[in-house]
Structure 1
Amino acid sequence: MELTPDLIRSTYDAIKPATTRTPVVKAARLSLHLGIDLYLKLENLQHTNAFKARGALAKLLTLSEAERAAGVIACSAGNHAQGVAYHATRLGIPSTIVMPEGTPFNKVKRTEEFGAEVVLHGRGFDESVQFTLDMARDKGMTFIHPFDDPVVAAGQGSVALEMLEQEPDLDTIVVPIGGGGLIAGMAMAAKSVKPEIEIVGAQAESFDAVRARFYQVPTEFGAMTLAEGIAVKEPAEANLAIISRYVDRVDSASEAEIEDAIFDILSDEKLVCEGAAGAGLAVIKKHRDRFKGKKVGLVICGGNIDSRLLSTLILRGLMRDGRIARLTFEIDDTPGQLSNISRIIGDAGANVIEVIHQRMMQSVSLKRAELDVVIEARDKEHVQAILAKLSDAGFAVRLDADPV
């Protein structure tokens, strides 16, 4: 079987009853800030909070009664795992998920909560997949690949059909790329409906295998990426062939750009997204001139970001915006200094949220002390105004650029 527009349409019809028709919303603030007309396809509101549930269900619906009874197995660190587990349990099919060793506990727990048996093996997808295939063979289970399967890619392609039903006048769709299943399915589906539409792929710079193949340039893989859902070293050859035919451009973004993009989506649109979706917006921001005057759709492909990671990301984003700042003082070790500093900061319209006052662990003279004050301000300009007021009052103060 190969991926075709007809397969995507029939798959879309098959999965419709058990998938969420996720909304396409205008990104009002992002559109204003970027100067483009941007629309978001909220697959983070899909079952299991990611588009992967579509492809997983599509494959499960093709199984025979004997295959259902024998069970299914998948290899995934997150979204595909939860998509398979959720729909397999709903359909009464036993499921086993192989996850790399070191997978965050919350991902293991969420997958188990959906009813799957989780087995930990390998350091990443590429190391775990052969173990999964061997286990499938030995136990007679059906292996559900996260992207190298035409039925799975057809399920993911339903995202494009849905988008163009909701916003038929889109000029461009930006799609994150890992193994290539999502963009292969979406590109083929979109071009079958609207041949002139532009499809742009987005990757993390540290895992840009598809971009390297697309432009025939070398790639160097990094050890880690915030966009872990698209951290794939070996995309499917079948998907690459479709991408070369139907995708117009593939761009990549750095880790800093992806981090900024996730914060922008959260701050401007009040939406939680994971790193893969952040890569999509990062590419749009990086090449915004190419999108001027176009109606652009971006797939928010998932929202399963670790809460601790998100917390740190938010704090770092607030510091970059100047809404949280750490001021370091060298003060006389005499009564009233902290009170005066707090008064000046408060009178300037900012709020003190943390104070670290040390006498022992420092290099200043014995009769002086170092004081760190974390403040909440309106923006960078407000912080600079506060620094000026403190300096005018005689305080030696500097802005600390390190994360809180």
Structure 2
Amino acid sequence: MPRLLAQRRSFERKILLGFLSALIVVAMVTAANWRLTQASRDAVQLVSQTQQIVNAVSRLNEDTLQIELSTQSYRISGREDVLAERDKQIEAREKTMGSLRELLVGDAEQLERWQQLRAVLDQRIAIAKQVSALRATEGLEAANAFVAAAPLRETRERTVSILKAMDDDAHLSLEERAADQLRSQGLLTEVGWAMAFLLSTLLVSTFVLARRQLLASEADQRALAKSEAKLSTTLRSLGDAVLVTDAQGRITRMNPVAERLTGWAFELAEGQFVDVVFKVESLSGPATGRGLVAQVLFTNKACQDTEDIVLAHRNGGLCPIGANAAPIRSEDGGLQGVVLVFRDTTTERKAKELIRDQNALLEQHVQERTAQLVDTHGLLPVSMTPC
């Protein structure tokens, strides 16, 4: 029993360890997935932000070119609608510049380029407005003369150079962040597969452990059933009555001889206290069947009572018996119950009575023969001869 209990506790510990390991793996998978998902989400946001920067730089290029063309067209034609269209383009470019400024927060190098671009664009806006004013007030020649002297080419080249640097940097960042995003996704997939493999390994190991324990338990149960069958066969074949109790004195087993002597079927006696089923009386005084069992339970030692006791049958009859009781101990010496063995001593007692009667009759015959000899020969018994 202790061995089975130890095996059970060992199995429970292993199952608990496997369960805790699975929980740890699940927690690790969850944490890793959360971190990688967060990293992937950040990478997506960075890629999106970088793409917006690329688009903004592209629009600035287009708007700057359109503004310059509109200014030249107005300078040549003097049409007010062209001037109005140019002003709308300048307004749109200013909005793009504002959006680009927000997108570049945190990037010191790009912000410095933005500041440089801002200064160049402001200079070109001032030149464009001066050209428009001269064209409107002094005519085409004055406007052309101003354009010839103004640094339009230098500011144009400066604008193109700054925008190209910003675009190159944005495209490089876009490629790097896209690569980071792919790496994060790949790492997320690899970690997922690794965790799935680890969790699967734990589950398979737990299944194998449980299977082994189940097979061992089935083997133990078969061995126990075989032992129980052997014990039952042995008990049934015994000529003595056998009654087994647990550590509280409740009946757990009886053989057919015990059923016959007590008048109790095992189905009715099982679970009853022993003194309910095994009632004995002493010919020399009161006695109780539980006295033997209680004594064994108290002392953890065997005891017996074979003199002058009779067993009360359930139907009221009495039967002389001899009984002895012994403790049932576990592997570690702990008391698990009591085995009570008793037998019908009716034949033995009748034999003893017959012997006593025969001895008494023989003694009577000796005395009678002695008396006859005395009467016939005048002899005195040896015990009566005078000294």
**TM-score normalised by the chain length of structure 2:** 0.20
- Mark the structure with the bigger radius of gyration: 2
The structure with the largest helix share of the pair is: 2
